[in-house]
Amino acid sequence: MKLNVENFGKIKFASVELNGYSIFVGDNNSGKTYLMQLIYGVVDALDHIQDFDSPVFNDYPFRIDASNIKDIQSSVNKWLYENKQKIVKNIFNENLMIGSLSLELDLDDIGEKFFEIRKNQLNEIERIQKKVRYSKNIDKGTSDSFICIENNDFVYVAAKEGERSKSFWIDFLVGLTMQRLMYKQGSRSLFLPASRSGLNLVYKNLFAELARPISFDLDESKAQPLESKKLGLTGPVFDYLSFMQTYKFDAGSFERNKELIDFIDKKIIHGTINRIGEEIRFRTQDGMDLPLYLASSMVNELSPLVHVLSSVDLFGRIFYDEIETSQHPTTQIQLARLMNRLVNSGVNVIVSTHSDTMAAAISNLVTMSFSENSVSIAEKLGYESDDLLKEDCVHAYQFIKDVEGRTVVTEVEKFINLGIGYDFSLFNETNDKLYSDYLAITGKNA
């Protein structure tokens, strides 16, 4: 699934894959963070789509499957066009102009899967051969008609007919379909902003009086004043701070992600991050116990990810801005390994970087993942099989400024067969300049 963007801020054009693993590489002030936050907001808006209209839906049953998904895509893009300015305003709290937004659905993702919302009498429901689940509010003793949600596996009896409007159920069906197409697990996204270290130290004060979550209501007449605007923050950054403020530990999530958390503890921060009451503390491998604000900036940078992996909230998409921040080159290699493992666990990941070390580490792991004898190569170089991507779902994008100073986002081709992975011209030009300067300074180019 791709999102196409035209004429947004510095960005002249971008076409970005939403699922799997995407890497944004570019100079400072090239639009990487803007695009990440735009994607975050568009995904959220599609999850909670409102006032959706399509000729596909006239009367019950409402159904989405492979036979009508192209028509649904057209209607979604019409909805995005009509609501693009409201979506941008909700994300950035400013009336930033945007030329166009459009979605390209991967039609193969639909396959035989479908969702249908239908109207059934109770006696019809009782004859259904699939597994049937009932909402706790359903009175099975009545002869009313009920609204049922059906997929290939089961039927869910959701409500009595008339409790909700047809438009509500259309919005629900489209939002549910978008979620299933955009997430492998969960249905929540989290944006990890740059300067995580500083934000981690001040979020409690920022939320002392403003703790109510952001509203993404597209109806401006109903929308409440956004606390994110009062704090001078974008919606995605506000959501990040809200998550840190309201985080709740979940033993099931911790156990499910224990291998990922252990990797962070042992390979990157060399200690453990713990939350005791309202305080976050770091315990070093030699037993020293410190409040997080006395730990290194590198530990502070990784703290949010540990929270994500141990939270009661299940996140299916992570936006990791300036992933290399406060990380030594050797640690950046470990971070690249961690991202592969995170993607393999089912999380969609978008990272941004302007570090040639980080980009090279990611490129090497991608190349190794899809090379012949990849496992033996990994073991020979000190890696593990878990560091290899299970699926070829990785896309790299380079943010290049044209002669007018506008950014064109282009996908970088990978050359696995040549053993060089991604060739980022942006870094090549800088490295060539440094080498040329070195030769001139030392007189070795004479």
- For the chain, domain boundaries: 1-108+181-211+317-446, 109-180
Q: What is the pLDDT of residue 421?
A: 77
Cα radius of gyration rounded to whole Å, the chain: 24
Both tokens assigned to 347: 């999380």
List beta partners, residue 192.
320
β-pairing, 154-160 with 145-150? antiparallel
Residue 348 pLDDT more than 90? yes
Residue 51 predicted with pLDDT over 90: yes
Retrieve residue 293's tokens.
Answer: 């604000």
The mean per-residue pLDDT over the stretch 364-369 comes to 92
pLDDT digits (tens, 9 = 90+) for 21-36: 999 998 888 899 999 9
408 alpha-carbon distance from chain centroid? 22
Q: What's the CA gap between 388 and 336, in Å, rounded?
A: 11
Contact 117, 169 (CB under 8 A): yes
Read off the pLDDT of residues 174-211 as tens digits, 9 standing for 90 and up.
Answer: 998 898 888 887 779 999 998 765 666 566 655 555 54
Q: What are phi and psi of 408, to 5 degrees?
A: -110, 120
- Residues in CB range of 129: below 8 A, 6 or more apart: none
Residues in contact with 34: Cβ distance below 8 Å, sequence separation at least 6, in sequence order? 8, 9, 10, 11
Asked whether 180 and 46 are in contact (CB, 8 A), the reply is: no
For residue 143, how many other CB atoms are within 10 A of its CB?
A: 7
At 229 the pLDDT is 62
Query: Using one digit for the tens of pLDDT, what is the confidence trace for 52-92?
Result: 999 999 889 998 888 888 899 999 999 999 999 999 999 99
- Residues 357-373 have a mean pLDDT of 91
State how far the Cα of 253 lies from the Cα of 308, in Å rounded to an integer: 9
Q: In what order do the strands lie in the sheet with 279-284?
A: 271-276, 279-284, 289-291
pLDDT tens column, 90-115: 999 999 999 999 999 877 777 666 78
Q: Would you state the pLDDT for residue 297?
A: 85
- Amino acid 225: pLDDT: 44
pLDDT of the residue at 107: 72
Q: What is the pLDDT of residue 223?
A: 45
Element housing 284 (H / E): strand 279-284
Which has the higher per-residue pLDDT, 114 or 410? 410
Report how far residue 32's alpha carbon sits from residue 8's, in angstroms, rounded to the nearest whole number: 12
pTM above 0.85, yes or no: yes
The reported pLDDT for the residue numbered 89 is 95
* In contact, 98 and 124? CB cutoff 8 Å: no
- Of the CA atoms within 13 Å of residue 275, those in its CB half-sphere come to 19
State how far the Cα of 27 lies from the Cα of 11, in Å rounded to an integer.
13
Percent of the chain with pLDDT strictly greater than 90: 50
Express as a percent the part of the chain with pLDDT over 70.
Answer: 89
Q: What is the largest CA-CA distance in the chain?
A: 95
Helix spans in 310-370 (H): 329-344, 356-369
Cα 239 from Cα 189, distance rounded (Å): 10
Q: What is the 3-state secondary structure (H, E, C) of 49-106?
A: CCCCCCCCCCCCCEEECCCCHHHHHHHHHHHHHHHHHHHHHHHHCCCCCEEEEEEECC
441 vs 364, higher pLDDT? 364
What mean pLDDT comes out for the span 222-237?
66
Structure confidence at residue 347 as a pLDDT band (50, 70, 90) = very high
Identify the three-state secondary structure at position 152: coil
Q: How far apart are CA 320 and CA 192, in angstroms?
A: 5
190: which 2 tokens? 């989290």
